[in-house]
């Protein structure tokens, strides 16, 4: 990945984290990684554990950010989420998958939160 893409992604994740905090989320992990993959942000929204994918773009030339969360990416996030819940003995907690879309325009960051962006579908193994 190019350096400017890494910088843009990091800048988007920082903007998303600030947005989530301002909207009442309590962030418990950023860039959580294990052998199954990575989740950008894990946070509580009330009593619900949220696994949040952040997609950042500097233009809509190649589509809107949410379109980049493919079914493959959804399965990978689902596996990491299940592993996180099991490892932390919180399988009984309500959980969901959110996506934060960050589009940097001249005026600043345009941020959109999509709650319950996708469901865990199919058989998930890890």
Domains and CATH numbers, the chain: 3-118 (3.40.1350.10)
Looking at residue 3, what is its pLDDT?
Answer: 65
| Range from 17-21, 57-61, 81-85, 88-92 carrying the lowest mean pLDDT | 57-61
* Mean pLDDT value across residues 30-41: 96
Q: Can you give the pLDDT at residue 106?
A: 81
Buried/exposed 85-95: b ≥16 CB within 10 Å, e otherwise: beeeeeeeeeb
Q: Determine how β-strand 95-105 pairs with β-strand 48-57.
A: parallel
What is the DSSP pairing of strand 108-118 with strand 95-105?
Answer: antiparallel
Is the model's pLDDT at 58 over the cut of 80?
A: no
């Amino acid at each position: 990945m190019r350096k400017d893409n890494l910088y843009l992604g990091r800048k988007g994740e920082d903007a998303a984290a600030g947005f989530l905090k301002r909207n009442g989320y309590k962030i418990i992990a950023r860039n959580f990684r294990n052998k199954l993959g990575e989740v950008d942000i894990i946070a509580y929204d009330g009593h619900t554990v949220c696994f949040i994918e952040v997609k950042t773009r500097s233009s809509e030339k190649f589509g809107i950010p949410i379109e980049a969360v493919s079914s493959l990416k959804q399965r990978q996030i689902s596996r990491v989420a299940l592993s996180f819940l099991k490892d932390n003995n919180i399988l009984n907690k309500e959980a969901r998958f959110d996506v934060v879309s960050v589009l940097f325009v001249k005026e600043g960051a345009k941020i959109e939160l999509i709650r319950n962006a996708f469901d865990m579908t199919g058989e998930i193994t890890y």
